[in-house]
Amino acid sequence: MKVTFEQIYFTGVQYLNQRLGGEIVLEEGETMADGWRKLKKQADDFHRENYPHLYQTHNPIIISEPPYGMTEQIPEVKIQRPSNATEGIIFDIDSVTDIKVLGSYKLMAKTNPAINQAYQNKLKELS
């Protein structure tokens, strides 16, 4: 009897996943669960080998790799967002490139002087 396994794995790039799987013929005495375990282990091992940065335990930085067949390089992500809430919002405001997106921070800017200062600076920059 044949058993098929397929799973979608994260590649480190938002909305760009990788489908891994395979098919195995069961040997005498093997159950379907045994076959699925073997295939899952092979797929997991392949993914871990090709995307080791996703398996780090201390604040991994996701480094983008182009999917198979793509020639354009996706830039590496080197900057981490601050863990402090206020600093994180200021970081987000500083990275905004569209004035409409900046408008979504207007209410937050009214509640915190530091966020308001970053908001006003970015508003001047984008205007």
pLDDT (tens digit per residue) in 87-122: 889 988 988 988 889 999 999 899 999 999 999 999
pLDDT computed for residue 112 by the predictor = 92
User: Does 28 share its domain with 70?
Assistant: yes
Residue 71 and residue 11 share a domain: yes
Task: Give yes or no: residues 120 and 89 share one domain.
Answer: yes
Q: Are residues 99 and 73 in the same domain?
A: no
Tell me the residue range of the domain where 100 lies: 85-126
Q: For residues 8 and 121, what is the distance between their CA atoms, to the nearest angstrom? A: 42
pLDDT at 57: 66
- pLDDT given for residue 119 in this prediction: 94
Query: Which residues of the chain have a pLDDT value below 70?
Result: 57-79
pLDDT for 65 equals: 56
Asked if 68 and 117 sit in the same domain, the reply is no
